[in-house]
Amino acid sequence: MWQQLVLIALLGLVATINCATAERVRYDNYHVFELQPQTTAQLVAIQALEGSGDSLLFLNAVHYLDAKINVLVAPHRVADFLSVLQHNQIPHRLVDENAQKSLDFEELVADPNRRGGEYTWAEYHELEDTYAWLRALAEKYPDQVSVFVAGKSYEGREILGVKIAYGSGSGSSDDGATKRRGIFIEGGMHAREWISPATTTYIINQLLTSTNADVRRTAESFEWYVVPHSNPDGYVYTHTNNRLWRKTRTPYGNCFGADPNRNWDFHWNEVGSSNNPCSDTYAGPKAFSEIETRTLAEYISKLKGKLFLYLSFHSYSQLLLFPYGHTGELPPNYKDLKRVFDVTVAAVSKRYGTRYTGGNVYDAIYPAAGASLDWAYGTMEVPYSYCFELRPSGSSLWTGFRLPADQIVPTGEEIMDSMLAMIKESGALANL
């Protein structure tokens, strides 16, 4: 324990996180290091640094060996940080000498702050632009689309979603009265993963406008519930203050936010999360401590028995994941989940050759308890529950969170291809 305290003291860090101000966080001359702990002692040393202050920003989970961990280090802390790495013989390499320069490149690729005009997938949109578009869809397609509020955020924003249903399944009722099975799609859980809500809105548009026969048949055969922004406060914060923000915005002492994808009440905080409020993987003080996860779960609970497929969109790594995250023990219908998985990852590569891998969360990426897909599977008894970790691949550097806007449409296209295959296969297995 004393060694951990010495490490923190050496860095001279204080546990203060940028408060909600109008000033935008910049990362001028922040160095980006890639660490790869190979021993338990090295991992413990890194864990002592994570969440210890805003001079270090960890972009990956710090819970397991041989994983690549990207860290942004403030320029005045680089020498001390390197001293800690060398003292503990932690394998590392410098991948970027000026993080802000790489982030500024995103502003050249897309204008994420443009307001008004046509809603397209040539750029990333602000929250209110997407919400206005969702409401406009209900006016444009009153017989197929209804808007629903799936919950609330800490700062009072709505968690807005749309229900899409054709024929006898149309309308605003969510009581599960119709026999048509449901598909729930959730995006934007982690604020900085902008490609996630962009992909969910692309899917919405395809379900309503595509003339492809397979898309039309699939769109009209199910009731769809789509929530592009599960963490609206965090997403707004990435536009106004800190592009790399991940969590909610609930205050916890001098720190803000919990990881909403470690906060669900299914084997909560058993593994792969942190008890440190300053950590990006902070699980919260208790399961469903975050109003976002709690109220979203309350809405989804109304659909119990109706849903046969749950999809969660994240980035990045090009992975398709299924339960469980808290244990390496395989779920009861593993063979069916794996069969659907195989069909899906094969389909995603057909258009552009994009290669996805994956499997059960615990083994394919890392132990992570308290995630939404596990709760949907284990508590809501949704038989097919998956998480897409979207473009780019895990071999990309830390800049993977700022996927260029010109990749939104290709990402959406290949995900639609894979979803059609997934739904066809899982529907056949479920005798739908």
One domain for residues 147 and 266: yes
Is 121 contained in some domain? no
One domain for residues 422 and 349: yes
Is 122 contained in some domain? no
Residues β-bridged to residue 322: 360
> CA-CA distance, 432 to 426, in Å (whole number)?
9
Look at residues 77, 109, 141 and tell me which one is the last residue of a structural domain. 109
What is the radius of gyration, based on Cα positions, of the chain?
21
pLDDT score recorded for residue 355: 97
pLDDT score recorded for residue 264: 98
One domain for residues 86 and 173: no
Residues β-bridged to residue 69: 35
The catalytic site residues sit at 389
One domain for residues 255 and 379: yes
In the 8-state DSSP scheme, what is residue 416?
H
Contact 365, 317 (CB under 8 A): yes
One domain for residues 70 and 160: no
One domain for residues 252 and 295: yes
Containing H/E element for 32? strand 31-35
One domain for residues 404 and 275: yes
Number of domains in the chain: 2
One domain for residues 102 and 140: no
Is 241 contained in some domain? yes
Is 103 contained in some domain? yes
Is 357 contained in some domain? yes
Place of tokens 């578009």: 133
Residues 6+ apart with CB under 8 A from 205: 121
One domain for residues 144 and 77: no
Is 61 contained in some domain? yes
Look at residues 82, 109, 136 and tell me which one is the last residue of a structural domain. 109
Enclosing domain of residue 52: 2-109
pLDDT along the chain (432 residues), means of 10: 39 39 82 94 91 82 83 94 95 93 64 66 96 98 98 98 84 58 98 98 98 98 98 97 96 96 98 94 97 98 98 96 97 98 98 97 93 98 98 77 94 98 96 88
CATH value at residue 327? 3.40.630.10
Is 62 contained in some domain? yes
In the numeric block, which tokens belong to residue 92? 């590392």
Look at residues 109, 143, 159 and tell me which one is the last residue of a structural domain. 109
pLDDT score recorded for residue 17: 38
CATH value at residue 50? 3.30.70.340
Is 235 contained in some domain? yes
One domain for residues 239 and 300: yes
CA 252 distance to own-chain centroid: 22
pLDDT score recorded for residue 5: 37
φ, ψ dihedrals at 384, nearest 5°: -125, 110
- Residue 25 has a CB neighbour count (10 Å cut-off) of 18
One domain for residues 326 and 406: yes
One domain for residues 287 and 359: yes
